[in-house]
Amino acid sequence: AEPGDGAQTWARFARPAVPEAAGLLHDTFPDGFLWAVGSAAYQTEGGWRQHGKGASIWDTFTHRPPAAPGDPREAGRPSGAPSPSPPTTGDVASDGYNNVLRDIDGLRQLGVTHYRFSISWARVFPNGSAGAPNREGLRYYRRLLERLRELGVQPVVTLYHWDLPQRLQDVYGGWANRALADHFRDYAELCFRHFGSQVKYWITIDNPYVVAWHGYATGRLAPGIRGSPRLGYQVAHNLLLAHAQIWHLYNTSFRPTQGGQVSIALGSHWINPRRMTDHNIKECQKSLDFVLGWFAKPIFIDGDYPNSMKSNLSSLLPDFTESEKKFIKGTADFFSLSFGPTLSFQLLEPHMKFHQLESPSLRQLLSWIDLEYNHPQIFIVENGWFVSGTTKRDDAKYMYYLKKFIMETLKAIRLDGVDVIGYTAWSLMDGFEWHRGYSIRRGLFYVDFLSQEKKLLPKSSALFYQKLIENNGFPPLPENQPLEGTFPCDFAWGVVDNYVQVDTTLSQFTDPNIYLWDVHHSKRLIKVDGVVAKKRKSYCVDFAAIRPQVALLQEMHVTHFHFSLDWALILPLGNQSQLNGTVLHYYRCVVSELVHANITPVVALWQPVAPHQGLPSPLAKQGAWENPRTALAFAEYARLCFEELGHLVKFWITMNEPYTRNLTYRAGHHLLKAHALAWRMYDETFRPSQKGKISIALQADWIEPACPFSQKDKEVAERVLEFDVGWLAEPIFGSGDYPHVMRDWLNQRSNFLLPYFTEEEKKLIQGSFDFLAVSHYTTILVDWEKEDPLKYNDYLEVQEMTDITWLNSPSQVAVVPWGLRRVLSWLRVKYGDLPMYIIANGIDDDPQEEQDKLRMYYLQNYINEALKAYVLDGINLRGYFAYSLNDRSAPKFGFYRYAANQFEPKPSMQLYRKIIDNNGFLGPETLGSFCPEEYTVCTECSFFHTQKSLLVFIAVLLLAFIVSLSLIFYYSKKDRRSYK
């Protein structure tokens, strides 16, 4: 590889991945993959003065008085963070020094193959120098290694994880002095000699960037020296030489007998260009050179610093001699990578970003390393995220970041060909988090730092990681596999257009005026004044906008079309004192044309949209649904619609997607009564003659526990489902009253705003349905832990979040097909085996993306989950409606683009049509079930369709009569000629 080859990475990942590759990859890691977890001595051991341990620079650094404003230790705190409490220290931390068996049991629970830990230099050599080592310290690490051997877990041992013996800092000035390398060599030799027979992976130094820059240039970390940038670069120079010395020591004296490998743990960030220009890409390359390449290029390429550093830093950067370059080059047996929040987003110097954008993208970084450093074996020796220090065991945010990073590692291996040999989750347990103290937690196991015993309690992330290791990744599961099969023959295949564009413009053929064509001069039609033709009767075909709309539906092959009436257009005042007959006639023509085209109209009476929540303005001004009179007005409006349209409409929706999160309890109460009044009216007055069906359509996105192992999260998910869906569903489809979960929750909080139904109202509302219709778009994760106060719902005590490995639409709506199947199953468990319709389901897509691949992926997978619900779960599913017909009425959601007054089908339309034509998903071995075609005809034409035999008989008689007349006329004429 040549320096700079990694720059290809940005171009490779510039275009968005196809949906199939952007989401979860169902695959496993290579056999023999190393699954590890890690910890660092100062963060977890405690016992800072036990059994002869010497002081380290972190002991000294944390024992200082509280930081004053402007102190470099304050510079590392995130903006908006509270002021620090009195100095927190690692004096006790997780007390790992006194709990070896406890820690070993944690490793056993995880099922890891490797455990990364660090040796405390000051515990082995209290003064830092060679001499009599501390036997108790050696005994502790020997006991730990022996327990690991018994467990079958391989150690990955770090010699230096930031905790330099204080005496070496005092006497030599720490790593600023090149003489420290000799002391480091003595310490390493002792460790190789005592522990090397049991250790096959050694790491010399952890994250030298942080040690050099923040220990000796900014002073944000121990030893807290606020030196010049020159001192930071000099320390890094010394660390590289010290590392090389240890590698050569092991290579020469210990590798032949111990057979291990040695590397250095290099921390890095990832960075993306603000815009994809050559200049910005070069700046991104420079940013990685200044952080990762600073140490990686000398070791893995040529023994010298990146050219971008040498040309930008001039005299600040020390020079290597030719012999030093040879000495450093090649001193790593594998690429040891650290990637996580300690460096990214917290300890990365802003000027080292070069005005580009940081990103937690591990996959891209792995690809960059692979290209830049000649395809090395990469061992990820630290990776993870963090949660708030107040979060206990349900650490959902950490768990999903862990899932994301492991998924990106798998994609790097399987899709990009990167040679990643192992992964280390950080860390085993909660501990002291350096400049963040105890304000955050990074452990897989929870530690109560105030308790005496400091037990390790597995968090949700630990259970997730254990399962993942057991499966060696994300193997394909039966429930993730697509299902072949078909829906029932009478399945309703529909499309949604929330509001039909009411365009009452008449066609040119309805104009009664007379025109002359001026062929000699203007070449235009000239109206003849005072002359008009006889005005003919108006027909539905006169509305120019209807037929093209119906033609789109016919092109899709849908059997049903779902749209909402505009109450405010039909009755501007909310009552029949002012009726817009033109609009009502237009709607009548729409449904008539649909029926003529053999498409069943599915008509909603009301849908909450701006302005005025879809209500007539006077009703909105009088309190909208807060006013009980609105329910009565709705019932009268429904009566009008049934009278005017009911002979054509056989599929009614009273309320379409009332959004409970924007609804007051009083408004919801009246809305339920309005629905029930309309349903009872139709059932008693109109159903006998019109023979239609009617129900309410509820929005039912699935709510999933963020931590699937957490009972509290399951309770939270059920609570949110009851407030989101059960609030309106339970009175209608269940008990006739509000859900017990809802009532109990509000009563516990002394919130008595939820109204009560009278017994008469319960009877009115309960059972006011013919089917259960739900719209479904996405899935939301919920957690009971208050991780992010800005996103926490104190009212329901719930934190909403998303799985960051999920595919998302441009508007950040998560694509989670299995959520549809789960919500249908939940509804059946709650309300019984009712006929169900998915009345709306769809996703927005990038309007610039011609192939609308995301919508195609969404359709394919959501409809397949609907098929699983029907075939495998026995859900009585009667229909599926895709949202939406076109971009004109629902921008970014349509099957048709709209431009220059033209509708253009997208590829997703053709996919949906194919699914409809197949009535599901046909495979090589799947035979499509034969479904005889059914025709729905208009009622006006019903006489002609039901009396076909009579019509044929009359036609035959008429024909015979005409023939007879013709013969009589012919022969009578012939006879007259003969007579003459």
What HEC string does 770-785 produce? CCEEEECCCEEEEECC
Q: What is the pLDDT of residue 545?
A: 86
pLDDT at 941: 45
Q: Give residue 280's identity as a one-letter amino acid code.
A: N
More confident residue, 93 or 342: 93
Q: Which residues of 880-919 are buried (b: 16+ CB within 10 A; e: fewer)?
A: bbbbbbbbbbbebbbbbbeeeeebebbebbebbbebbeeb
Q: What is the pTM of this model?
A: 0.89
Q: What is the pLDDT of residue 968?
A: 73
Length of the chain: 980
Burial class (CB in 10 A: 0-12, 13-18, 19+), 762: middle
Label residue 759 by pLDDT band (50, 70, 90). Answer: very high
Q: Are 797 and 748 in contact (CB under 8 A)?
A: no
DSSP state of 86: S
Q: Band the pLDDT of 847: cuts 50, 70, 90.
A: confident
Q: Work out the angle at residue 726's Cα, subtended by the Cα atoms of residues 725 and 729, and round it to the nearest 5 degrees.
A: 90
The pLDDT of residue 764 is 98
Gyration radius (Cα) of the chain, Å? 37
Kindly report, residue by residue over 684-705, the tens digit of the pLDDT. Answer: 999 999 999 999 999 999 999 9
Within 10 angstroms of residue 479's Cβ, the number of other Cβ atoms is 11
Q: What's the rounded Cα separation, in Å, for the pair 460 and 715?
A: 16
Q: Which of 163, 245, 244 is nearest to 210 (CA)?
A: 163
Q: Is the peptide bond before 884 cis (omega within 30 degrees of 0)?
A: yes
Which residue would you say has higher pLDDT here, 524 or 46?
46
Taking residues 772-798, report their average pLDDT: 94
Asked if pLDDT for residue 84 goes beyond 60, the answer is: no
Contact status, residue 207 vs residue 235, Cβ threshold 8 Å: no
pLDDT at 87: 42
Task: Check residue 348 and give its pLDDT.
Answer: 86
429-446 per-position pLDDT tens digit: 999 999 999 999 999 999
List 379's β-bridge partners, or say none. Answer: 336, 422
Closest-CA residue to 114 (of 317, 260, 328): 260
**Mean pLDDT value across residues 892-905:** 92
In angstroms, the CA 295 to CA 317 distance is 13
- pLDDT tens digits, one per residue of 946-955: 455 666 667 7
Q: What is the mean pLDDT of residues 551-569?
A: 97
Mean pLDDT of the chain: 91
Average pLDDT over residues 866-893: 96
CA distance 583 to 841: 28
Cα dist from 694 to 488, 558, 590, 736, whole Å: 21, 20, 19, 18
Secondary structure of residue 21 in the 3-state scheme? helix
Report the pLDDT averaged over residues 31-49.
Answer: 97
**Structure confidence by residue, pLDDT tens digits, 171-222:** 999 999 999 999 999 999 999 999 999 999 999 999 999 999 999 999 999 9
User: How many angstroms separate the CA atoms of 136 and 884, rounded?
Assistant: 72
pLDDT of residue 164: 98
Average pLDDT over residues 932-957: 56
**Residues 6 or more apart from 899 whose CB is under 8 A from it?**
none
Q: Is the pLDDT of residue 898 over 50?
A: yes
| Cis peptide bond N-terminal to 688, omega within 30 | no
Residue 975 is predicted with a pLDDT of 57
Assess whether pLDDT exceeds 70 at residue 323. Answer: yes
Of the two residues 980 and 500, the one the predictor is more confident about is 500
- What is the structure's pLDDT at 479? 85
Asked whether the predicted pLDDT for residue 589 surpasses 60, the reply is: yes
Instruction: Let me know if 69 is exposed, middle or buried by CB neighbors in 10 A (0-12, 13-18, 19+).
Output: exposed
Q: What percent of the chain has pLDDT over 70?
A: 91
Beta bridge partners of 387: 441
pLDDT at 932 over 70: no
